[in-house]
Chain A
Amino acid sequence: MMNKSWLFSLSRWTQSLSKEAKCARAPILHLSKRSSAFKAPTRPDLKTTESETTYAKGRENPMLFCEEYIPPQVQPDWHRNKLKYRLERMDCLRRRKAFNIPEFYPGSIVAVTVADKHAPGKSIRFNGRVLYKDGFGLGCKFALRNVIDGEGIEVVYHLYGPYIQKMEVLHLEKWVDTDLRYLRDADPSYCTIDPDMQPKALPPTSVELELFRERVKLNKSPRWQFQYQKHWPPPYNADFQSHFLEDELIESERFSAMESWRKYDICRHYDVTEMKEEIVAEMKANKSRIEKADSTLKQETS
């Protein structure tokens, strides 16, 4: 709360400053007749703590909540074990404390330096566009795609793998789709990324990310990996109807009309709002649990 009041007063002060600057004059304190009624401005508190960074709507504090902390949807109740989910989330938190895993979404451009015993310098750097990020807990994997010398190359990494030495987000983008494997059948310009690309400025966490709503044009249909017009839900960022003739257009519309009931099927929806509160409370408890557990470890090694 203190932070917000400080921002409020600071914003007022900066607004007044900008008016002065437009007039190209230095800021002047106008002394009034009633000088005794002068009130000094509130002194801004410059000590900021890490826990008070604000997170916008679509973005969360990774120490408290992440997409990979949500357990997979398993039908019979006796086929899940909550202790195992808790132990895996504790290991994820340990890794995040030791290494800063940056925030990224499918569609953004990421560079990764990885330990490899067969490489000359024992490490390899690869950058590319993220196609998907899938899995639960320590098994969470993401794929990077890059086109080098006309050859498309994809590499899959574990998000929590300790063989990752460095991870940089070169361009943070959030697409509407979470599965961009149709870029294999699209114009290769979307996935050709310069190996020496410089990172762009990241927006701060208090700003909501705008979704990327442009549509990628796919190549002609007989060369596709999947029949995208027969998949539900149809991808938003892919434009696969531009090459279609009239017959195929009618068939694709008929198929989407047939399958459109699925968005109203409540049983298939995985409601996560209740789970999010439980997970956030659990991760706060995990933090203290880890400190107790790892303090005994350090005594052993030292």
Chain B
Amino acid sequence: MLASRQRLFTSTTKSSCCFCEREFHGNKKYAAKRHRTPRPKNVFTPVEPVNAVKRGERFAVRYTDKYGVRSDKFVPVHKLPAPRWSWDYDLTKDNVDFLSEIARNYSENLQTEATNAPLNDELWPVHDWQKDSKRCGAVGIKLGVHPIWFKDGSYCNSTLIQILDCNVVKYFSKEEYNNKTAAVLVGAKNASPFYRNEKYAQFCRDAGIPMKAKCFRFLVTENAALKPGTPINAMHFRVGQYVDCLAKSIGYGFQGVMQRWKMAGGHPHAKLWHRRIGSLGAGGKVIKGKKMPGQLGGTYENIRGLKVLRINTKYNVIYVKGRFAGHINQFVKICDTSVGRLQPNTEEEAKRLIGPFPRYIPIDSNEELPEEIYHDSVHRMNDPSIILPSTEK
């Protein structure tokens, strides 16, 4: 007994990791667990969740906030998923150069092959709109914000969203996904073929499109099924329709209570109390959800009911009334509104509040689209100045 205790608490020598030869001060037992043997990245390793309730722990309701942090149990290092290594960790330099050259021209070659291919399967059949049917949206990039003026003299700040190389990656039918709704994966912005794991690369290969940098899931009814590989551009939306935008907000890291929860803190002449929480609450315990320091930002935020004011078909840019979370060049998930008051009940409302169902199909393939499409209430910059009509009786 004494010997084991001595072993635990008396070893204070330096220990080093066998793989990367970094040194740690402290116990060898923990050094070995911190640094694991390398594992390839492209293999998908499922991880069992830490479920304390199964073992009969005290709190049945596990509180987790949107940052994924469990408040009553800190996940130990040996239960986290394997560390990610780059795709070229075990290749020679010549092979790496060869593969990266292929990756550079990868997306262009794929697109030219797709357009020149003689045997192109037809896209799936198109169904009519019915009540309570949902169609998929698009994935774009936030370009920035600038003002747009209306014909009555008022103005609003509008965000520009570019829909860049957007394609449908995969379609899951109702039975494949969960027996309630079908799902569609839509990806944007071409990336190198070694960007993600093998499972995702197989989806892109089956669809005949280059690997996408970001992919979002849309829950969809079965009458809006889209074939993997269909391109989605700005005409997927209609001027005057309403739209939801989901994007990851700017991350500020671990922030204190004044930044995170806008608490007041101490007055300027305080000496011992500046930026602290203050009271922890009454009742002999701290209630779950107490506002405390923690992660601020870096979460997905959804803004609903944004109106589409203008579409640029040449650069595939949508001008949306209002602003949403995220820095410039952040990926955005754009879909039709979920606001109850703006849900369409008839076909006429569907043409006003929702874009073309299930996707944009040009009437004439040879017809040239107008480059800029404006909403009726928006003032075009090449028109003369606004003169308001006088109301004299």
- Interface positions of A (Cβ within 8 A of B): 78-81, 83-84, 87-88, 91-92, 94-95, 97-99, 115-117, 121-123, 137-139, 158, 160-166, 290, 292-294, 296-297, 300
Contact = CB atoms under 8 A, between A and B. Distances in A.
A35 B199 CA distance: 97
A115 B381 contact: no
A10 to B, nearest CB: 38
Given A122-B390, A139-B147, A80 B328 contact: yes
A280 B144 CA distance: 22
Contacts of A99: 384-385
Interface in B323-351: 327-329
A246 to B, nearest CB: 31
B56 interface: no
A98 B143 contact: no
A293 B372 contact: yes
Contact of B382 (A87, A98, A115): A98
Contacts, number: 100
B327 A79 contact: yes
Q: Chain B binding site: helix, strand, loop or mixed by DSSP?
A: loop
6 contacts: A84-B160, A91-B381, A94-B380, A98-B383, A117-B388, A293-B371
A80 B386 CA distance: 32
B146 to A, nearest CB: 5
B27 interface: no
B387 interface: yes
B149 A115 contact: no
A158 B371 contact: no
B162 A162 contact: no
B151 to A, nearest CB: 9
B315 A294 contact: no
A297 B147 contact: no
A297 B372 CA distance: 7
**CB-CB nearest 9 A-B residue pairs:** A94-B381, A84-B143, A293-B371, A84-B144, A94-B382, A296-B370, A122-B388, A163-B153, A95-B381
Contacts of A87: 143, 160, 312, 315, 317
A154 B388 CA distance: 24
A293 B147 contact: no
Given A117-B388, A163-B149, A81 B381 contact: no
A166 B370 CA distance: 31
B314 A293 contact: yes
B153 A121 contact: no
A221 to B, nearest CB: 23
A294 B382 CA distance: 8
Contacts of A294: 372, 382
A166 B385 CA distance: 9
B153 A115 contact: yes
B30 interface: no
B152 interface: yes
Nearest to A292: B371
